[in-house]
Amino acid sequence: MNNLQPKSHTLFHFTKNLDFLKDILVEGFWPRYCLEDSKWYANSGMNYYIAYPMVCFCDIPLSRVDEHVSFYGNYGIGVTKEWAQINGLSPVIYLRENSSPHQALKKLFSKNNEIAFYNNSNTDINTLLANIKPTEGVMRIGSELVNKEFYQENEWRYSVTGNHSASNIRPWISETEFVDESSLNAENARTKEQASLKILPSDIKYLFVNTDSDIPLLVNFIQNEMDKYPSKDIKILLSRITSLETISRDL
């Protein structure tokens, strides 16, 4: 019998360096505008991208973590699903392109653009679009377009769109605004100030660093910068640290 779990009971978020991980521990998860391929639900056939403010997680089992970190980064944090539910995270809805649900979504989107279905229907449409992905498609990384099988990522998402009441946080920005560094920084500054997701040491199940040599650096940071928490909580948090170097030897 195959006892491998298809999903983890923990949600993981991976990032590119240790400083980003430290920032999450102190400031919380920062929702940033992420560029998404939007042509797949439009009727025009044109290539275009829209950026939504979000934080992305996954519940892949640790046995599959290598393929994920190679793309998103070698530093990570695992949080409880209880914390995720309290903070409004939800699994992404995956649709196969040109399936009947996909066609229905395109019709709803285009008709609502012609005439709003009801007051604030735009908000509901944007909320749906910010939380739906094709099973496979194109992801833009910098100037590079990468083909990706999104369905394999088991993504959970905190999308500010539809999840936050701050009136000056925009539900999405255009590709033009996204590639304008000053414009993007201004929009991201608002989400950090008003929509960051705070975490407590008790919410954390794993802390991943790249190599064993990173562990003392993170230990020192936690002891010096998170001393406002009870000593018991800090000791448990320190026990959550492990390196991907070590995990890769055992998987």
pLDDT of amino acid 2: 46
Q: Is residue 56 part of a domain?
A: yes
For residue 94, what are the contacts with CB-CB under 8 A and spacing of at least 6?
Answer: 132, 133, 134, 135, 150, 151
pLDDT of amino acid 248: 74
Residue 116 per-residue DSSP state: -
Q: Is residue 2 part of a domain?
A: no
Q: Is residue 108 part of a domain?
A: yes
pTM of the model: 0.89
User: Residues 184, 178: contact at Cβ < 8 Å?
Assistant: yes
CA torsion 226-231-233-239 (nearest 10°) is 90
The domain of 172 spans 10-250
pLDDT of amino acid 89: 94
Q: Is residue 1 part of a domain?
A: no
Residue 108, token pair as written in the block: 């709803």
- What is the sign of the dihedral through the CA atoms of 151, 39, 122 and 182? positive
Q: Is residue 134 part of a domain?
A: yes
The pLDDT-based confidence of 62 (bands split at 50, 70, 90) is confident
Report the range of poorest mean pLDDT among 44-48, 135-139, 190-194, 212-216. Answer: 44-48
What does the mean pLDDT of the chain come to? 88
pLDDT of amino acid 37: 84
Q: Is residue 207 part of a domain?
A: yes
If one counts the domains in the chain, the total is: 1
Q: Is residue 135 part of a domain?
A: yes
Q: Is residue 201 part of a domain?
A: yes
What is the mean pLDDT of the segment spanning 109-122? Answer: 85
What is the mean pLDDT of the segment spanning 83-99? Answer: 93
Q: What is the pLDDT of residues 169-227, one digit of tens each?
A: 999 999 999 999 999 999 999 999 999 999 999 999 999 999 999 999 999 999 999 99
